[in-house]
Amino acid sequence: MPSIDAARRRLRLSDSHVSVLGLLVEEGRIPEELVSARDELSGAKILDAEGKISADLYPLVATLMEPRVIARVEMTGPQGVTSSGAVVGDDFIFTHENWPGEAESEYVPAEPETLVWALARMVDLHRDFTAEVDSGEVIASTMGTLDDVLERMEAGEFEQPEAIAEAAGAPVRLAEVLAQLNCMWRITVAWQGEGPTRGSGGLAVSALAVWDCGLEGYWLRELPAEPVVEGQVDAGSELRVRRTSAKELWRMITDLLPDGPQLAEAAAI
């Protein structure tokens, strides 16, 4: 259910609730499938008796309606996939975090200086106390082999990484690293303007994908290179991951975000 914490400007909203707010701002008709979401917003006092949006929601709604930068954080772990991120507008910044198994995300205001920290926290970026965290070790294989190894591990077909690697025709080191896998995460940032990669609709896109492998440390997926578009990767696509450090990943998250000049000429997305 949606809820609001007016004292700290926090809200819990699902995608359906956000869609309703957008339609109300544009004075659009609420379709049948969103009526229950609208009623939930009314029940939570986020909409008044006349169905109008509470003034407390103006910063969030204004930011969602005309974002300048959108950051999306996808994390795949034992409890499934969660989607979090941040939205940057002209006057406000909001982060949103999803809890496994729940429809709502918590939307919280943020300051520009805390944005990198917030994104890093969403992926649980932490100091790596394992040895040789800056070794730069590289593992090469294919995406099909990766899927085969993961499927065999999930099925509990073998207990030892060496046996899984042999059965899947994979490098032993790949199976050893994946045996310690906590989660895989991806951060994608999009904005209207100049950037390293041009996406659909003239959007500039930057992204990175990482494996958090516990005792085996962090591994940056260099191939397939991010951002990956639908249909670009198949079983034969080359896989290359490189061991890295939390310090390098912090720098890379910082570099994902556009700087002032990149946004100076950009219109809202």
pLDDT of residue 6: 82
φ/ψ of 117, rounded to 5, equals -60, -40
pLDDT of residue 253: 97
CB burial of residue 60 (10 Å; 0-12, 13-18, 19+):
buried
Please choose, from the candidates 134, 102, 142, the residue with its C-alpha nearest in 3D space to the C-alpha of residue 224. 142
pLDDT of residue 103: 92
Q: Is 241 helix (H, G, I), strand (E, B) or coil?
A: strand
d(CA 90, CA 170): 49
> β-pairing, 3-5 with 10-13?
antiparallel
pLDDT of residue 269: 45
Token pair 């499938």: residue: 33
Please choose, from the candidates 57, 67, 60, the residue with its C-alpha nearest in 3D space to the C-alpha of residue 94. 60
pLDDT of residue 104: 94
* Tens place of pLDDT per residue across the chain (269 aa): 899 888 888 899 999 999 999 899 887 789 999 999 999 999 998 888 788 888 878 899 989 999 999 999 999 999 999 999 999 999 999 999 999 999 999 999 999 999 999 999 999 998 876 655 557 899 999 999 999 999 999 998 777 999 999 999 999 999 999 999 999 999 999 998 765 665 556 789 999 999 999 999 999 999 999 999 888 899 999 999 999 999 999 999 999 999 865 554 444 44
pLDDT of residue 260: 63
* Residue 263, CA distances (Å) to 44, 89, 266, 267 in order: 37, 11, 5, 8
Show me where the domains of the chain are located. 3-120
